[in-house]
Structure 1
Amino acid sequence: MSKVLVTGGSGFIAAHTILQLLEAGHEVRTTVRNLKREPDVRAMLKQGGLDVNVADSKRLTFAAADLLDDIGWPEAVAGCEFVHHIASPFPSTVPTDENELIKPAREGAVRVLRAARNAGVKRVVLTSSFAAIGYGHTEAKATYTEEDWSDPNGPGIQAYPKSKTLAERAAWDFIAKEGNGLELAVVNPVGVFGPALGPDYSTSILIVKMLMERALPGLPRIHFGVVDVRDVADMHLRAMTHPAAAGQRFLAVSGNFASMQQIALMLKQGLGERAAKVPTMQLPDWLLRVSSLMDPRVKGVLPELGKHKNATSAKAQGMLGWKPRSREEAVVTTALSLIELNLLKK
């Protein structure tokens, strides 16, 4: 078994990846910006079913490191064979200054890669996103694959997809020019759902939370991909060890993209009365545009109104033997975890 570094241990994908690494017998070190977050991370892992004795053993340790500072990274990667670079900002609202996202994403990726190379790490698995694949295009493709890239200067592209695109490009450029044998594999998830382990969860889960609480009177006309966080973590582990994964990108998506209306119906069908507040009426685009003037969360969906995108995970399934859960299971499990953790407004 290997010693593995996971960056951003308090994050949703990172916590599930740590769980699976520990369950597989690996020794894990994870970074947090402040070591005061260690109890929060341990609580999330316990919620995920981790044995307390394992969590308290030497197989799980913590290191303080920030994506915008070199301090702490040499110590964090020391002795590690693999690195999962998962830490990256993902806001629920559009930032005033796009560099609030772009700078830590791009500089952080290169900073982690440089530290990994200097420490003799074998392979880094970078968590990128479908945001680095399917945005900024004049016309949407019928089905996106790993061969596609978002255009950071394209029409309607916002700060988050721009940050993910520039960060992943910078990572591949570093490997090509300065990698010195360091291997890189990239995971590109779509909207990540599945069991929340605490109040630190993905922005995608906020969609289910808003639906369950009826925070919107109806549903915007948008489509997005769905994947379960447990399957994203599984893909990270496969990309870490599979010989053919070096130098490759892998889309993490389950089935076809779904509309907000389909997501709402999944909740209704899977939860019955517990999803009584979930709206099913589709909202006209003009109403969303007006609402965005008062609610910054709505502003972020405007460029995607009416766009029909799709993507395929055929590469990951064929090369890595990856098999994702259904969209329905990912969505319903999300809501059940929010109920169990008492994270929904009454």
Structure 2
Amino acid sequence: MNNKVLLTGVSGWIAKHTAIELLNSDYEVLGTVRNDSLIEQTKETINKHAPIDNLSFVELDLLKDDGWNEAAQGCKYIMHLASPFPFKVSNNRNSLLAPAVDGTLRVLNAGLNANIEQFIVTSSIAAMFRKPIRSNPYSFDENDWTDENWKEGVGDYFLSKTKAEKAAWELMESKRLKNKLTVINPGGVFGDALDKKGGTSIEYVKQFMKGKFPAAPKWGILISDVKDVAKAHVACIGNTKVGGRRLIVGKEVKKLIELSQIMAEAMPEYAKKLPKKELPNFMVKLISFFDSSAKTMIPDLGITMQTDTSYAEDLLGLKFNPAKGCISETAKSVVRLGLV
């Protein structure tokens, strides 16, 4: 029985968790890497959590056509997770579009040429909730889209996720194959860092625990457990109910000050370094002139996010984890790995 999955960007943090979930569920995984120097570390990390007999690798570039058609041949499913998510914000809001948009279309077209049975693409709530006019609190669901024309509020990452996801839906709809595509839309993803490569959310936890934030910006986000995100990808396979759907994965919205409190409880020896107060909005705006990582929060400062993810739990047959566990796990793992 063919149960081979082409998993793009396998060296990425969420992708490694997804590969572990796939391998432990007896799927064969062909993981793509942009550079073969990433293979050994990725293999070593995954092998600590899953058997790797059914894991193989191929070096492919999202910016080049070479090799994608060949990689997709013989696979039954494609999970496209590879996409840039920088910690810093670029002044060029189009800087991430080539790998995000062109890369997504390159992967999907290779899959269509290979008659892939099912496509599962990782997007983000970043493609859903950023709009210039919102109530407070504001709610969003799978029918909402980020306003890509809002230049002040939609920077490089938000624009890339929105345009890439829209391009995926437009391609599949043009082929009348919309039901072959499911998109996973997590919020801020937290959990076990696995190794020192980490991801952007890991970087935020490191900065907090190193005492880089004297106070926390008044900013909140839907928290997604990385294990839930990985399980959601695998739960889509062969699930006819999820075709043509955007699945928001996460349980609770938490403010940064609440994340700080959870970290302090999990790792009391770091409590002194963690912020205990909230930062006035004008201070965050001031800091953003010197530290571009603060820019991404500014449009949402002081606004409370709301969303109901129970529909996704029902469709996937999963119960998403509360925020506390994955935030604690992130804090413990960055200490264990010597990242702080």
Q: TM-score, normalised by structure 2?
A: 0.95
SS in 2 for 1:164: helix
- Residues 253, 312 of structure 1: 8 Å contact kept: no
My pick for the range that moved more, 122-131 or 295-304, is 295-304
Q: Equivalents in 2 of 1:152, 1:40: separation in Å?
A: 36
Q: How does 1:316-327 map to 2 (within 5 A)?
A: 316-327=312-323
Distance 2:176 2:9 in 1: 22
| 1:301 match: secondary structure | helix
Alpha-carbon separation, structure 2, partners of 1:43 and 1:277: 32
In structure 2, how many angstroms separate the alpha carbons of the residues matched to 1:240 and 1:275? 42
Contact 1:117 1:180 in 2 (8 A): no
The equivalent residue for 1:284 is 280
- Which residue does 1:242 correspond to in 2? 239
Aligned-residue offset at 1:209: 1.2
User: How many residues end up aligned between the 2 structures?
Assistant: 337
Q: Distance in 1 between matches of 2:144 and 2:293?
A: 27
Report deviation, 1:179.
5.6
CA distance in 2, matches of 1:23, 1:219: 38
What does residue 7 of structure 2 align with? 6
Shift of 1:75: 1.9
Give the Cα–Cα distance (whole angstroms) in 1 for the partners of residues 189 and 111 of structure 2: 27
State the secondary structure of the residue aligned to 1:225.
strand
- How far apart, in 1, do the equivalents of 2:85 and 2:117 lie? 28
Answer whether contact 2:266 2:331 (CA < 8 A) is retained. Answer: no
- Residues 253 and 311 in structure 1, CA contact (< 8 A), matched pair in contact too: no
RMSD: 1.6
Q: Do the aligned partners of residues 145 and 180 (structure 1) sit closer, same or farther apart at CA in structure 2, a change above 3 Å counting?
A: closer
* Structure 1 position 214, deviation (Å): 0.9
Q: Is the 8 A contact 1:121 1:182 kept in 2?
A: no
* Structure 2 residue aligned with 1:328: 324
SS of the residue aligned with 1:62? strand
Q: Could you tell me how far apart the structure 2 residues matched to 1:74 and 1:298 are?
A: 40
CA positional deviation for 1:180? 5.5
CA distance in structure 2 between the partners assigned to 1:239 and 1:258 by the alignment: 27
| 1:340 and 2:336 correspond | yes
Query: Which of 111, 129, 142 is 2:124 aligned to?
Result: 129
| Gaps in structure 1 of 5+ consecutive residues | none
- Is 2:245 the partner of 1:254? no
1:156 to 2:153 alignment: yes
Cα distance in 1 for residues equivalent to 2:202 and 2:143? 28
Partner of 2:187: 190
Partner of 2:105: 110
Q: Distance in 1 between matches of 2:91 and 2:176?
A: 34
Which whole-Å deviations, capped at 9, do the CAs of 1:102-141 have from their partners, x for residues lacking one?
A: 2211111111110000011101100000001101241146
Deviation of residue 206 (structure 1)? 1.7
- Equivalent residue for 1:79, pick from 74, 80, 100: 74
Indicate how the Cα distance of structure 1 residues 61 and 182 shifts in structure 2: closer, same or farther if over 3 A, else same. Answer: farther
Which 5+ residue runs of structure 2 have no aligned equivalent? none
**Deviation above 4 Å: which 4+ runs of structure 1?**
179-182
Report the CA distance shift for 1:311/1:200 in structure 2 as closer, same or farther (over 3 A): farther
Q: CA 1:212–1:181 in structure 2 vs 1: closer, same or farther (change >3 Å)?
A: closer
Partner residue of 1:29? 30
> Distance between the aligned counterparts of 1:195 and 1:9, measured in 2?
16
How many angstroms does 1:182 deviate by? 7.4
Following TM superposition, by how much is the alpha carbon of 1:341 offset from its aligned partner in structure 2, in angstroms? 0.8
1:67 is aligned to 62
Counterpart AA for 1:239: C
Are residue 138 (structure 1) and residue 139 (structure 2) matched?
A: no
Aligned pair partner of 2:267 in 256, 266, 271 = 271
What is the aligned partner in structure 2 of residue 19 from structure 1?
20
Q: Are the structure 2 counterparts of residues 324 and 62 from structure 1 closer, same or farther at C-alpha, using a change threshold of 3 Å?
A: same
After superposition, the Cα gap between the structure-2 partners of 1:182 and 1:244, relative to the gap in structure 1 and judged at 3 Å, is closer
- Could you tell me which of 63, 87, 92 is aligned with 1:97? 92
Which stretch shifts more, 199-208 or 126-135?
Answer: 199-208
Cα deviation for residue 291 of structure 1 reads 1.7
1:203 aligns with 2:204: no
% identical aligned pairs: 35
How much does 1:285 deviate? 1.6
The whole-number CA distance in structure 2 between the counterparts of 1:111 and 1:81 is 17
Asked whether the 8 Å contact 1:126–1:187 carries over to 2, the reply is: yes
SS of the equivalent of 1:302 reads helix
**Is the Cα contact below 8 Å between 1:137 and 1:150 reproduced in 2?**
no
